[in-house]
Amino acid sequence: MYIIVDAWHYSHFKDMKIELKKFGNLLTSRQDGREALAAINPQLRTLTEREKIDIDFEGVITFTPSWADEFITKLLDQFGDRVTLSNTSNPSVQATLDLLKELN
């Protein structure tokens, strides 16, 4: 019975995907980063312990440490390695993530 229930849970797990482009292609200020985090907060609260968060940078043109510090850093602080990043080839995304790695 236990196995059946667990399988049912697995079949219904759906990792959370955050498409940053929905917040715009110019993500630069702390204020905007804070507002973006506040906007996804209701979804974050429904996450189960097994669900992961994928942050998708596709469509982002300009990205900075100020914005990232209010959004990415906070998610990493809270969810650790459950957070994955995808489509990070943009040079401003790369440069920002390099700095975050150095800081943490």
- What is the identity of the amino acid at 70? E
99 binds another protein (CB under 8 A): yes
Closer to another protein by Cβ: residue 55 or 72: 72
Helix (H) or strand (E) holding 71: helix 65-79
Q: In this structure, are residues 15 and 44 in contact, taking their beta carbons and an 8 Å threshold?
A: no
Q: How far apart are CA 32 and CA 13, in angstroms?
A: 30
Q: In this structure, are residues 82 and 49 in contact, taking their beta carbons and an 8 Å threshold?
A: no
Among 18, 23, 70, 76, binds another protein (CB under 8 A): 70
CB of 67 to another protein, least distance (A): 8
Give the range of 12-20, 24-32, 42-50, 75-83 binding another protein by CB under 8 A: 24-32
Q: 97 burial class (0-12, 13-18, 19+ CB within 10 angstroms)? A: middle
Q: Which x/- pattern over 25-64 shows residues binding another protein (rule: CB under 8 A)?
A: xx-xxxxx----------------------------xxxx
| Residues near another protein (CB under 8 A) | 25-26, 28-32, 61-66, 68-70, 90-92, 95-96, 98-99, 102-103
